[in-house]
Amino acid sequence: MEKGGIIKHDLSKSPKTGDWAYAKPEVDKDKCIGCETCAMYCPDGCIEMIKHKEDAKNKADIDYEFCKGCGVCEQVCPVKAISMRK
């Protein structure tokens, strides 16, 4: 701990909450419309919209290092592009 009792954020030292998951969300990149609904509701902020193909919309990409496997993204997806797999 630093002088003055300040704790600084350091992600590399943080606990990896990905090992909580008993099921993992999988994104069907063909169905995903890139609306970002899942990203906003994800409690862990672990869904990012990234470009995976040229001249296509950005699609959801999940960071399994921190995903706790709650299944909220599957439930809120308007086109059912996310499914939870064991």
Partner 1 sequence: MNKELTKKLSAGHATCQGCGIPAIVRAVLGATDEPVIVANATGCLEVTTTIYPYTAWKVPYVHSVFGNAAATAAGIDAAQNALVRSGKIKKKAKVVVFGGDGGTYDIGLQALSGALERGHDFLYVCYDNEGYMNTGGQRSGATPYGANTETAPAGETSFGKAQQRKDLMEIVNAHGIKYLAQSNVAFIHDLKKKAKKALETEGPSFLLVLQPCTQLWKFPTSQYVAVGKLATETNFWPLYEIEDRKYTINNIVKTPKPIEEFLKTQGRFKHLFSDKNKEVISKIQSEVDKNWEKLQKKCI
Interface with partner 1 by CB under 8 A: which residues?
1, 7-11, 13-17, 20, 39-48, 63, 65-66, 68-72, 74-76, 84
CB of 25 to partner 1, least distance (A): 10
DSSP state letters, 31-71 = T-----HHHHH-TT--EEEE--STTS--EEEE-TTT-----
Nearer to partner 1, 26 or 75 (CB): 75
CB of 21 to partner 1, least distance (A): 8
CB of 31 to partner 1, least distance (A): 18
Is 82 within 8 Å of 74 (Cβ atoms)? yes
- Tokens encoding 26: 């999988």
